[in-house]
């Protein structure tokens, strides 16, 4: 119940954070369109930015990451304070000291309202629930109980360690999520809602569409040059200062002042004109107050969410066994079941690490009934940049019932150069899975066929899925397509 109280508080904070970010994004994208440029997300998505559904769905990401991490940390600390520390007052002081250090790090680059709220209010909600009698203190947990509760996640973490790497999340998606209906629901949620919370803590350079406002350049000969330089880097002019991510003002002599998020830096005009990327990097760095918050989110994603799932499963299985078996036996049974489930997942990930087939074996694998082998072959082709046109047996995979196979096929079709692979990619733009459509768009951009620009642009303008628009815009950029003001 302490964990639940923390999760509820995290959901409230996350909903407010995403709602505030969505409203700011809506205003910026509206200003971009009014300036005569294309916005991503466009007007098919913009109305949804103001909805409670988008704010709540995006907030759920924070609940399941930093909310889970802070809630479990609070519950664990309360157990330690009540047990080994014997409710000594210095234990409270130690916890407060750790919290102050965490707050100092998160606000090191400037005050971060929502990061501070998670650190302060999620533990506070759990502690208040605990102190006001919401938690009934029963029989004190024994060392045996604690070991049964905590040893399985440690064992599973050690078992998973050899398989952790750059592609861990992708492997988990391919072999765990996309292989079953509940997993596909989680995957669909990720693709539908995670760009909303991500937008709220990205740095300036991580955003896809940025805005700028030229303050005091009405009659300046520099205005066209500055506009061209910034537009080429996806910074678009807006008519009001409040809608600008970056404010540019003339300063004395040959200098300019660039301001973002209330922080300003003075740069030489020549530096911005001759080395714009370096200058924009510097303003992005000084205005980024989410650097430590992103690290905390990543740690929470790796630890908080898996541990939350584990403890939920442990609790449910333990209660199920408690209907039939004594307490001690039900605890042992829950531990064994959780370890078993975890090892099955580890085995699934390990099975996806099959030895890489040789080019001669790939053609036979495409016709194989072993889905795992086919996925391994597709990933090898992607890694080695192999053109799929030399393997005509790949065509049945375009209609595979498995999303992962269609995803990786769309990805490796970007290695092709023949007309037939290009036409196959165009067909895959109509795939029902946004994962596959995104990879098809990526591959069209990778191939460099400028004739695809019109098709990609049409797909971007007609899609109501933010991820698809995001990939389409990146594909257009890879084709050297650039925005030009319509007004």
The enclosing domain of 428 has a CATH number of: 1.25.10.10
Average model confidence (pLDDT) across the chain: 87
- 484 within domain boundaries: no
What's this model's pTM, rounded to 2 decimal places?
A: 0.89
CA distances from 251 to 45, 163, 258 (A): 39, 54, 10
337 and 372 part of one domain: no
pLDDT tens digits, 83-142:
777 778 887 888 889 999 999 999 999 999 999 999 999 999 999 888 886 555 545 556
What is residue 205's DSSP assignment? G
pLDDT of the residue at 136: 53
46 and 150 part of one domain: yes
- 474 within domain boundaries: yes
Q: Which of 270-274, 322-326, 477-481 comes out lowest in average pLDDT?
A: 322-326
In the chain, the number of structural domains is: 3
128 and 76 part of one domain: yes
Q: Tokens in use for 120?
A: 């302060």
Point out the domain boundary residue: 235, 256, 287.
287
- 222 within domain boundaries: yes
- 483 within domain boundaries: no
CB 411 within 8 A of CB 386: no
103 and 173 part of one domain: yes
With a CB cutoff of 8 Å and minimum separation 6, the contacts of 41 are: 25, 29, 49, 466, 469
CA dist 274 and 162 (Å) reads 47
CA dist 76 and 125 (Å) reads 14
The enclosing domain of 213 has a CATH number of: 3.40.50.800
Sheet holding 255-260, edge to edge: 235-237, 210-214, 246-250, 255-260, 263-268
- 380 within domain boundaries: yes
321 and 451 part of one domain: no
62 and 192 part of one domain: yes
Pairing of strands 210-214, 246-250: parallel
Residue 366 pLDDT > 50, yes or no? yes
Of the two residues 288 and 76, the one the predictor is more confident about is 288
Pairing of strands 263-268, 255-260: antiparallel
- 433 within domain boundaries: yes
Q: What string of DSSP letters covers 79-90?
A: HHHHTTTTT-HH
* Closest listed residue to residue 239, CA positions, set 258, 211, 262: 211
274 and 191 part of one domain: no
- 106 within domain boundaries: yes
Pairing of strands 210-214, 235-237: parallel
Domain of 134 in residue numbering reads as 2-199+292-348
151 and 232 part of one domain: no
Of the two residues 225 and 167, the one the predictor is more confident about is 225
C-alpha Rg value of the chain to the nearest Å: 26
Residue 172 pLDDT > 70, yes or no? yes
Point out the domain boundary residue: 287, 306, 333.
287
* Vertex 34: Cα angle to 29 and 38 (nearest 5): 55
pLDDT of the residue at 165: 61
What is residue 357's DSSP assignment? P
300 and 441 part of one domain: no
44 and 143 part of one domain: yes
45 and 130 part of one domain: yes
334 and 447 part of one domain: no
CB 70 within 8 A of CB 6: yes
């Amino acid at each position: 119940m302490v964990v639940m109280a923390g999760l509820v508080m995290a959901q409230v904070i996350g909903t407010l954070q995403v709602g505030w970010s969505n409203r700011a994004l809506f205003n910026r994208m509206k200003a971009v369109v009014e300036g005569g440029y294309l916005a991503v997300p466009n007007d098919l998505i913009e109305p949804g930015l103001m909805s409670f559904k988008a704010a709540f769905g995006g907030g759920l990401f924070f609940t399941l990451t930093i909310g889970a991490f802070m809630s479990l940390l609070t519950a664990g600390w309360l157990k330690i304070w009540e047990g080994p520390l014997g409710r000594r007052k210095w234990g409270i002081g130690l916890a407060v000291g750790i919290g102050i250090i965490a707050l100092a790090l998160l606000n090191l680059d400037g005050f971060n309202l929502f990061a501070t709220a998670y650190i302060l209010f999620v533990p506070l909600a759990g502690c208040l629930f605990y102190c006001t009698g919401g938690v009934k203190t029963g029989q004190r947990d024994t060392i045996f109980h604690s070991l049964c509760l905590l040893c399985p996640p440690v064992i599973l973490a050690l078992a998973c360690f050899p398989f952790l790497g750059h592609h861990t999340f992708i492997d988990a998606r391919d072999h765990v999520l996309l292989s079953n209906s509940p997993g596909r629901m989680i995957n669909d949620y990720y693709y539908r809602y995670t760009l909303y919370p991500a937008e709220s803590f990205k740095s300036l350079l991580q955003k896809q569409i940025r805005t700028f406002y030229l303050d005091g350049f009405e009659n300046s000969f520099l205005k066209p040059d500055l506009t061209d330089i910034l537009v080429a880097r996806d910074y678009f002019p807006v008519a009001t200062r409040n809608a600008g991510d970056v404010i540019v003002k003339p300063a004395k002599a040959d200098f300019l002042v660039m301001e973002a998020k209330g922080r300003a830096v003075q740069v030489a005009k020549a530096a911005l004109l001759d080395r714009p990327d370096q200058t924009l990097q510097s303003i992005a760095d000084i205005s980024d107050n989410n650097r430590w918050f992103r690290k905390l989110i990543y740690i929470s994603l790796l630890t908080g969410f898996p541990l939350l799932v584990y403890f939920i499963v442990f609790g449910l299985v333990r209660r199920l066994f408690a209907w039939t078996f004594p307490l001690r036996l039900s605890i042992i049974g829950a531990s064994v079941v959780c370890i078993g489930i975890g090892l099955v997942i580890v085995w699934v990930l390990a099975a996806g690490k099959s030895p890489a087939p040789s080019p001669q074996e790939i053609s036979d694998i495409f016709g194989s009934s072993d889905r795992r082998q086919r996925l391994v072959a597709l990933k090898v082709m992607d890694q080695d940049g192999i053109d799929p046109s030399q393997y005509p047996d790949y065509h049945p995979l375009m209609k595979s019932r498995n999303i992962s196979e269609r995803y990786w096929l769309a990805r490796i079709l970007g290695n092709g150069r023949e007309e037939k692979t290009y036409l196959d990619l165009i067909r895959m733009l109509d795939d029902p899975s946004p994962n596959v459509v995104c990879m098809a768009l990526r591959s069209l951009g990778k191939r460099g066929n400028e004739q695809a620009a019109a098709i990609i642009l049409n797909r971007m303008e007609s899609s109501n899925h933010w991820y698809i628009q995001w990939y389409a815009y990146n594909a257009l950029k890879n084709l050297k397509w650039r925005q030009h003001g319509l007004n």
